[in-house]
Amino acid sequence: MIRHRTQSDNGSLELLLDTICNMFGGIVFISLLVVVLLNSTSEIQSSTPPGTVTEAEFISSENTRRTLNNKLNRLRTSVAQQEAISEIIVSDETRRLAQEIEQSEQRKASLVSLESSIVGESTVVQKDINSLAKEATQSKSKLEETQQRLAAVTQQLEITIEQNTREAVIPKVVPSTKPPQVFFLKNGTLYGPEILSGGSSNSRDFEVVKLDDGTQIVQERVGGGRPVDSTGKQNANLQRHLGDPWLKSFYVKLFVWPNSYGHVEAVRVVLEDAAIRCQIIPCERDTQIAISSTSTVRPVLVQ
């Protein structure tokens, strides 16, 4: 029994060893095969000459590399020489002055820019000033022209006033016991007397108008009255009218409107020749003569 168990164990080890040897031999074989294949591939590649284009590019690249290396070496040498010379020639004080000069140049550039901006603004302001000065000159010229026109108009007005007015002395009112007779001097025409010699109202020269408030006013009648020549040369009809002896029992109460101030003197001369007293009452342009409630002979002014 013991002998049989020993033989069985030896057989198992031989099988294991055989398997291990076979595996090792296979690994060695595969490794040799790989080495042979690699060597054959390398020989094929090395035996194949490179193409013409590839060789030319390689040569060009190599030349470019060498040229760049040469330039780089020269630049390094030049920089080193310049640094050495700078260290020898340029001192720290010189560098500081150079920095100050550079800073001064920068400040100068800033000041020039600021000056340019200020000059631009000054130009705009100067344009505004020139425009205002021009407007002031034009306004002054217009003012002077207006003043000249005003002076001319004033002078013309004075001439017109002088031509259309006369100096007249209004006689003083002398108390009289005689009753008045009302006359109107308007539009260069003499209207009146208000009461005729027979005691009736003069409806040829006057008309009575009643206003809305009940006031009665006396107005000249259109087509009535007698024209007055302001020169006094053609007043024969007026002299006959005012020379009626019946009027000597009255004094004339003459209402005169502005458009007939120049005719007063001619009427006054005729009344003076007839020895009839006259009271001249100047009126405004829009004056109306109202009849008083107590008498139809004594009108009162209504503005």
The answer as to whether 192 is a domain residue is: yes
200 alpha-carbon distance from chain centroid: 74
Lowest mean pLDDT among 123-132, 133-142, 157-166, 180-189: 157-166
* CA–CA separation, 80 and 9 (whole Å): 85
Q: Which two structure tokens, joined as six digits, stand for 173?
A: 């009112």
Say which DSSP state 112 is in: H
Q: What percent of the chain has pLDDT over 70?
A: 78
Q: Looking at per-residue confidence, does 44 or 223 come out higher?
A: 223
* CA–CA separation, 99 and 95 (whole Å): 6
pLDDT at 260: 93
The answer as to whether 78 is a domain residue is: no
The answer as to whether 270 is a domain residue is: yes
What average pLDDT is seen over the chain? 80
pLDDT at 156: 85
The answer as to whether 71 is a domain residue is: no
Please tell me the total count of domains within the chain. 1
Owning domain of residue 256:
180-302
Specify the residue for token string 């009665």: 216
The answer as to whether 20 is a domain residue is: no
pLDDT in tens, 8-23: 555 566 777 777 787 8
Total-model pTM: 0.44
pLDDT at 98: 74
C-alpha distances (whole Å) from 294 to each of 209, 247, 291, 299 are: 17, 23, 9, 10
E-state strands within the chain: 180-186, 189-191, 206-210, 216-220, 226-227, 251-256, 278-282, 288-291, 299-302
* CA–CA separation, 58 and 287 (whole Å): 130
The answer as to whether 86 is a domain residue is: no
CA angle centred on 298, ends 296 and 303, rounded to 5°? 105
Question: What is the pLDDT averaged over residues 195-218?
Answer: 88
Model confidence band, residue 39 (pLDDT cutoffs 50, 70, 90): confident
Q: Which two structure tokens, joined as six digits, stand for 116?
A: 């340019």
Q: Which residues, in sequence order, are CB contacts of 182 under 8 Å at separation 6+?
A: 192, 193, 194, 218, 253, 255, 289, 297, 299
Confidence check: pLDDT of 124 > 70: yes
The SS3 of residue 269 is helix
Q: Which residues, in sequence order, are CB contacts of 243 under 8 Å at separation 6+?
A: 270, 273, 274
* CA–CA separation, 201 and 181 (whole Å): 11
Pick from 180, 190, 255, 252: nearest CA to 217: 255
The answer as to whether 193 is a domain residue is: yes
The answer as to whether 266 is a domain residue is: yes
Specify the residue for token string 């600021």: 114
Omega within 30 of 0 (cis) for the link into 193: yes
pLDDT in tens, 230-285: 998 889 999 999 998 989 899 999 999 999 999 999 999 999 999 999 999 999 98
